[in-house]
Amino acid sequence: MPRWLAFGSQDEWADVAIFDTALRDTGSWRVSNRTTITNVTVLKDGGVVVECHGTDRAEFDGWMRSVGFAAREVAEIRHVARAGEIWAIAKS
């Protein structure tokens, strides 16, 4: 299943209370039955990184618009290593 990382900003999310309210509900993460936002990281410099697993990039794009996330770049993930496990995601 394809995965993407989006790099950008959402100024309101610098406030952890607003961030919590915006993303607390499961519906904020489950875009559809086949597309899920798996991680949202707000960096100290104000940047935001969002990871999505799904079958349709358009659903991810729609989620970003709906939460006011301004992506400056979206990259498809090729490989992932976490705690010693390695997954091939995209075909070369």
**CATH value at residue 36:** 3.30.70
Under DSSP, the state recorded for 15 is S
What pTM does this model have?
Answer: 0.87
**Does the pLDDT of residue 23 top 70, yes or no?**
yes
Q: How confident is the model at residue 8 (pLDDT cuts 50, 70, 90)?
A: very high
Cα 12 from chain centre: 16
User: Which tokens in the block code for residue 19?
Assistant: 């961030």
Output 27 or 89, whichever has higher pLDDT: 27
Report the number of distinct structural domains present in the chain.
1
Gyration radius from the chain CA atoms: 13
Query: Where does residue 48 rank: exposed (0-12), middle (13-18), buried (19+ CB within 10 A)?
Result: buried
* Maximum Cα–Cα distance across the chain: 41
CA-to-CA distance for 15 and 5, rounded, in angstroms?
Answer: 22
pLDDT (tens digit per residue) in 27-74: 889 999 999 999 999 998 989 999 999 999 999 999 999 999 999 999
For residue 52, give its domain range: 3-88
